[in-house]
């Protein structure tokens, strides 16, 4: 199985030196659940070309990004076109945070800056019946770092998990194998801690960083999400899930 990770950003250099790239985080997160998979990386936001044919790889993953889906970056529209082509070719898709948002936008949904501001740190999410079938039963704890939201779902997608801060926190798609989540199952607590500290007083006000740091003790369940993503990437989940 050949999985292509579409990098829509990379961490700032000091964080990258300590924690690696987003593509590396994805590999470490998924590797135990996709033994034998081969990974390639395309730094889309860095100007690297998308595959000429989506059939060149078995499946595609889209990382998080500091960019907004609605921003005028030259790589965003071609990436949306590519995702639609991959879906037409029935290549499984998986997205996280910005990846979740650009998938929704590519297939007819809407993404906006959240009126309630940043969503940071650990929190629990409720699951629909389809979400529980994919990720296992019971509320799901995960780490978040975002302030954009999917505010309108594509017609081809269904909500599978949510909480008050992220009402459309996870989607599964009908007609082609695809899943996405707003939170960051690939992030370690250490990375989120260092990201919060580095952003305090710059991207983030000090008064929201402290409470977010206090949530990092919540036991998160990245493996549950990895198992579900692995099933979709192997195209083992029917569209009637």
CB 120 within 8 A of CB 145: yes
Q: pTM for the whole thing?
A: 0.96
Predicted pLDDT at 116: 86
pLDDT tens digit string along 39-87? Answer: 999 999 999 999 999 999 999 999 999 999 999 999 999 999 999 999 9
Q: Reduced to 3 states, what is the DSSP secondary structure of residue 181? A: strand
Ordered by where they begin, the domains of the chain are 2-112+148-187+222-233 (3.40.50.880)
CA dist., res. 160 & res. 180, Å (int): 10
Q: What is the 3-state secondary structure (H, E, C) of 86-136?
A: HHHCCCCEEEECHHHHHHHHHCCCEEEECCCCCEEEEEEEEECHHHHHHHC
Mean pLDDT by 10 residues, the chain (241 residues): 98 95 98 96 98 97 97 97 98 98 98 93 97 97 97 98 97 97 98 97 94 96 97 80 38
Predicted pLDDT at 240: 38
Strands 178-181 and 170-173: antiparallel
Predicted pLDDT at 13: 93
């Amino acid at each position: 199985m050949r999985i292509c990770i579409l990098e829509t950003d990379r961490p700032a250099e000091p964080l990258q030196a300590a924690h690696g790239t987003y593509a590396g985080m994805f590999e470490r997160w998924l590797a135990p659940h996709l033994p034998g998979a081969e990974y390639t990386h395309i730094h889309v936001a860095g100007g690297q070309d998308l595959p000429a044919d989506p059939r060149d790889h078995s499946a595609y993953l889209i990382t998080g990004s500091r960019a907004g889906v609605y921003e005028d970056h030259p790589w965003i529209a071609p990436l949306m076109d590519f995702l639609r082509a991959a879906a037409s070719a029935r290549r499984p898709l998986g997205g996280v945070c910005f990846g979740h948002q650009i998938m929704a936008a590519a297939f007819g949904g809407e993404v906006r800056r959240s009126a309630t501001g940043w969503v940071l740190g650990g929190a629990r999410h409720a699951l629909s019946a389809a979400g529980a079938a994919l990720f296992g039963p019971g509320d799901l704890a995960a780490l978040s770092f975002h302030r954009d939201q999917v505010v309108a779902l594509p017609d081809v997608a269904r909500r599978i998990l949510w909480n008050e801060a992220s009402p459309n926190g996870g989607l599964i798609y009908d007609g082609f194998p695809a899943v996405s989540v707003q939170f960051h199952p690939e992030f370690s607590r250490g990375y989120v801690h260092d990201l919060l500290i580095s952003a305090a007083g710059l991207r983030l006000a000090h008064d929201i960083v402290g409470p977010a740091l206090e949530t990092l003790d919540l036991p998160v369940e990245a493996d549950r999400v990895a198992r579900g993503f692995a099933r979709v990437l192997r195209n083992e989940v029917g569209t009637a899930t």
